[in-house]
Amino acid sequence: MSNMKLHRYAGYADFPGPVVTVVMDGMGLGPENESNGIYMAYTPQLDELSREPLYTRLKAHGTAVGMPSDDDMGNSEVGHNALGAGRIFSQGAKLVNEAIRSGAIFGGKAWKEILKRTSQGGTLHLLGMVSDGNVHSHIDHLYALLDRAATENIRRVRVHGLLDGRDVGEKSGLSYFEPLEQRLADLSRNGRDYRIASGGGRMVTTMDRYQADWSVVERGWRAHVLGEGRAFASATEAIRTYYAENPDITDQYMESFVVAENGKPVGTIADGDAVVLFNFRGDRAIEISRAFDEKDFIEFDRRRVPDVFYAGMMQYDGDAAIPKNYLVEPPAIDRTLGEYLCASGISSFAISETQKFGHVTYFWNGNNSGYIDEKLEKYVEIPSDRIAFDLRPWMKAAEITDQVIEAIRSGRYKFIRLNYANGDMVGHTGIPSAIRIAVATVDMCLGRLLKTVKQAQGVAVITADHGNADCMWTEKKGVRSPMVAHTTNPVPFIIKDFSGKNGFSLADVQNPGLTNIAATICNLLGFAAPADYDPSLITLRKK
């Protein structure tokens, strides 16, 4: 990495304290009305910071973070990629769209192996979240796989569909599963047999992340692989039944189900089959991928491990090779901020709780696991509570703050980054009282941090990776519906300089977004940014 050493920023004066970057996850800038959980919360720190001279708004969605269009909301993964990469890379859905459009998705080794398995009598199983939220998956990608399977005359396909209710309407499942069942029925001709085999809500079935709760994955394994669970004649029957039995249930927390005929599951996964996880986002895809891929798997008793060919839509962890096979090449994010800082001898500290730990490490470092330079870096994970986030909306913000204060006072780290997960994780519950508490918690912790940064004569950078808590509900014809998805609102960017050493002012950057932050951090640390990074948001005032 010696050739990545950064050059001194002309006119910069060193200061004793660290640069502390705070990512307030899911805390965007929405309209000033009662639907905005941030506006409605008690936030004296953020209110004061909004009047800082080094304050601006950044785009954190759509094309600014590599998504296909500006209709696409941002998310924590692409947001942290952008924060750490300093440039825009094609992301998630855009990558998959390009691969489908070019046909590359069907030209690789994985699809050829799928054709081989199915030509020998195996079933193709398509597992993933069925919605158009475009954060973890998109139903159009599932349809593209189904249409290609029919074109290739794959005889038997089973879909294992997970309900969203988080990146889309909280009770919108039928609007996706009804047309999916019709599409499968239309494709089931000329000897083809295409059906939904199992499903469940994303937060209780299959889609756990960061090893927070392996029982979620185990429930998915039992439904998808073993065919165990409450049986229904169809997926839509299951959804309607669960709605009728519990009017308060939302899609993301719906129990798992199995589609059965004459008392027998229609789509268990067996030896010789092929399985594709069609989600493109990595965090909630890694654990189920491990369950299929690992021979010495110990996280739960799989009971039966079929000999299948398993592939992800993408490789969800490049360093750990999870999964071993995949349909679409991941974005090759190189020359990350972390690599440049390590090459330049900057010591750093990264921390969050389990729910966002991978974001300040793996995603920040360009989808790479582990340390870049363990001698210079320290990563700390605070275990998240295993409880619904609205029941404990303060989450682990206080514990994170305690450790960051200790890291600042130690004087060992020049660059510190942290993520407060509250605004996003509690925002996803759609419960206003809990959201307001979550936001107030972040504000209170921010106040504690700023006092310590001031004592250390450092610099604080406060921003967010996307919106969520800034819209708690939407209203139509006088009826309010909880808003549990991310927003497309801009996010704040604030620099609070306690060092008194440098006269920074905002630079004239057109359409600034999250990718501009990496160059800004370089400047705050005393370095000129790499030439190919998106421009810094600040400049040194001429003395």
Distance between CA atoms of residues 475 and 479, nearest Å = 5
* DSSP code, position 77: H
Which residues lie closer than 8 Å to 410 by C-beta, 6 or more apart?
none
Q: Please report the sign of the dihedral spanned by the C-alpha atoms of residue 251, residue 255, residue 259, residue 260.
A: negative
Strand segments (E) across 60-205: 124-129, 156-163, 193-201
Q: In the chain, how many H helices and how many E strands?
A: 16, 20
Distance between CA atoms of residues 253 and 420, nearest Å = 24
Structural contact between residues 347 and 272, judged by C-beta atoms closer than 8 angstroms: no
Distance between CA atoms of residues 305 and 464, nearest Å = 42
Strand segments (E) across 324-383: 326-328, 348-353, 377-382
Cα–Cα distances in angstroms (integers) from residue 95 to residues 67, 80, 134, 372, 486, in the given order? 9, 17, 12, 26, 20
Token duo for residue 62: 């759509």
Q: Is 102 marked active-site?
A: no
Torsion on CA atoms 5, 10, 13, 14, rounded to nearest 10: 0
Which one, of 355, 449, 443, 353, lies nearest residue 401 by Cα? 449
Distance between CA atoms of residues 394 and 422, nearest Å = 7
Which residues lie closer than 8 Å to 286 by C-beta, 6 or more apart?
209, 316, 317, 322
Which residues lie closer than 8 Å to 60 by C-beta, 6 or more apart?
28, 74, 79, 82, 464, 465, 466, 467, 490, 491, 513, 514
Token duo for residue 469: 């808590």
From the list 76, 347, 348, 384, the catalytic residue is 76
Distance of CA 28 to the CA centre of its chain: 16
CB atoms within 10 A of CB 2: 5
Element (H, E) at 354: helix 354-358
57 DSSP β-pair partners: 492
Residues of 192-220 as b/e, b for ≥16 C-beta within 10 angstroms?
eebbbbbbbbbbbbbbbbbebbeebbbbb
Which residue numbers are catalytic?
76
